[in-house]
Amino acid sequence: MSFRSRLTLFFLLIVIVPMLSVAVVLFRLIADNERGKADARVAQAQTAAINLYGREVERAGVAAGRVGRDEELARALRADDRVAAARRARELLRRQRIRRISVVRDGRTLVDVGARTATASAVREIVGRNRRPVGRLRVSSITAAEFTRLAHQVTGLEVAVQRDERTLATSLLGVPDRPLPRVGTIDVDGREYRAAAFEARGFGNQELRVAVLYDTEEISSEISSGRILALVILAIFLVLAFAFATVVSRSLQAQIGRFLEGARRLGGGDFSTPVPTQGGDEFAALGEEFNHMAAELETRLEELRQERARLQHSIRRIGETFASNLDRDALLQIVVNTIVDAISAGAGRAVARDRPGAPLEQRAVAGNVREYGGAIRAVEAKAMETGEPAATADGDVHALAHPLRPDDGAVQGLISIARAGAPFSPDARDLFHYLAAQASVSMENVDLHELVQRQAVTDELTGLFNHRRFQEVVDAEVERARRFEQPVGLIMLDIDDFKNVNDTYGHQQGDVVLREVASVLRANSREIDEPARYGGEELALALPQTDLEGTYLLAERVRTAIEELDIPRVDRRGTIRVTASFGVAALPESADGKDTLIAAADAALYQAKRAGKNRTERASRAPTKAAPAK
């Protein structure tokens, strides 16, 4: 047996076999540990969801107390006036942000208004003045979908709510309509999730099952990371063991002394002095292999230095991506730089449209695009014509282009690259198209983010700002008016007899009326004005830098324009006309703050209603505060 064979066998017996055994044990321990942590997180999330549901039941109990003390509702129930009771219940829904109210007496449902998916309810008895029960009140302050979103935000896991084996709401698309396990796994669209569920009482006697879901792919990822770390540690141990075996082998034969000296030079980074290869035995052959390895190592080390520089640059670019993932131009610049570096292109650029139908404009550039201008323009024209990725060659200049387009298929931009010399390899082309496709997805995410931002402050029916945005605007304008001692006006308007429109022509006609009136309000507003839908058929308009008289004049102009509207009927049988009543107020003439300003405009609006409708009333002047005695 040769020296190499003996050394190999010795190394296998004392190092490799024990390392394999340790690796098997470590891998098993890592997997068990990660699964245990996943189960603990699911249990913790389940506890949080249970506590969250209990808190919502307590909120419903507080809301039920307020509703139960409402005298107008109790009076309607005592009179057995279901219509009045339902109307009052709807008002309470809107004012107190309650999702559902029901009242049952002697087994008969007197009132049931609000969302059918409301959950986490509380019960109170409504008692009359003579202490006799008027009805059994049940109130809910949250729907199943709202609870699902809230629980998802709190726990960080996916959440699903089921009733009668049917999924009411979920934060994870694809949850099947079959019972969720109390503890176990469930398959959703081909992905396995660990689930932990608990039973809860819904609205009334409805039985609900609420489950938290944890993606097992995350467990697999953690297991893989742990195993990679274990492999790295074992590899380090293997390297150390090899070095130790090399040192021990020196005592076995003095013949390898010069070889070891050469090996030490190689270990110190000196690749200029080759290892002696005298003789024809295994050590000479090994010396030749070491000399060959030295040359390869020198080449590899240079490649590693270059790769390290590229890696550091990529890490910095990733950091820039995190900081600019909602900035189109910055995102495109990072993508173009990454593509040019990744596939060794000479230059590249990105062009995009501001909006559909607009011309393409250059948004990002890397390298000297002018040097390859002809090839880049040619490949971009080809990609625009076909709507597909394209490649062209102009002499020794090669170019690639990839269209950026959303799901509707319209091309919104292009990413193109070019270089002189060797054509792009299939792997380089695949990488280019992959990165460009990811850029297209990122652009869609930016558009979606902007759309969500707009929807968060916009009323879907009228296109005006919603109530929350209106409150923020009035807060800001009142604060600005105080700071700079400028007036700010407020118009509150309500469509006259709007209920009759809904009752006579239907709610779709009512929606048309609201949109037409909102269009008039928007058309008569300045760029700095803030039209909003205050609630129901009531609209509002904040007027910065406008006093009471200016506010009144604008309100009259809007009122006249509404009065002259010919609104088409949805059944195409002619048109209808509507009028509106207006209340105007201004700071500082009518109020001294936001709440008093809104209250003053609202009081003027109801004064206009009482005075005959289709008119504008000014708010009364705010009382002057007496100066403090000196």
Burial-class residue 241 by CB neighbours within 10 Å (0-12, 13-18, 19+): middle
Contacts of residue 42, Cβ cutoff 8 Å, sequence gap at least 6: 157, 194, 195, 196, 212, 214
The answer to whether 41 touches 214, Cβ cutoff 8 Å, is yes
Angle at 370 between CA 365 and CA 375, to 5 degrees: 95
Q: What are the tokens at 164?
A: 């009668």
Q: Which long-range contacts (CB under 8 A, 24 or more apart) does 24-32 make?
A: 26/227, 26/230, 26/234, 27/227, 27/230, 30/223, 30/226, 30/227, 30/230, 31/223
For the chain, counts of helices (H) and of strands (E):
16, 21
Catalogue the long-range contacts made by 297-303 (C-beta closer than 8 Å, 24 or more residues apart). 297/266, 297/271, 298/271
Q: What is the rounded CA–CA span in Å between residue 506 and residue 502?
A: 4
One-letter amino acid for residue 347 of the chain: A
Residue 286 DSSP one-character state? H
Cα–Cα distance for residue pair 376/389, rounded to 1 Å: 13
Rounded CA separation 104/111 (Å): 7
* Catalytic-role residue among 34, 56, 146, 537: 537
Q: Phi and psi dihedrals of 623, rounded to 5?
A: -65, 140
Q: What count of other Cβ atoms lies within 10 Å of the Cβ of residue 305?
A: 10
Q: Say whether 296 sits in a helix, a strand or coil.
A: helix
Spatial contact of 161 and 195, defined as CB atoms under 8 Å apart: no
End-to-end CA separation in angstroms for the chain: 115
CA separation for the pair 451, 260 (Å, rounded): 69
549-581: burial string, b at 16+ Cβ within 10 Å, e else = eebbebbeebbebbeebebeeeeeeeebebebb
Q: Is 537 a catalytic residue?
A: yes
10 Å Cβ neighbour count for 297?
15
Strand order in the sheet with 488-495: 530-535, 538-544, 488-495, 580-587, 616-618
- Count Cα neighbours of 387 within 13 Å in the Cβ-side half-sphere: 8
DSSP line for 593-624 = SHHHHHHHHHHHHHHHHHTTSS-EEEPPPPPP
Query: What is the CA angle 143-147-149, rounded to 5?
Result: 120
Angle between helices 507-523 and 498-505 (to 10 degrees): 140
Please name the residue that has the structure tokens 């998916």. 117
Length of the chain: 630
CB-CB contact of 171 with 211 (8 Å): no
**Which H or E element spans position 236?**
helix 216-249
Q: How far is CA 246 from the centre of its chain?
A: 57
Catalytic residues: 537
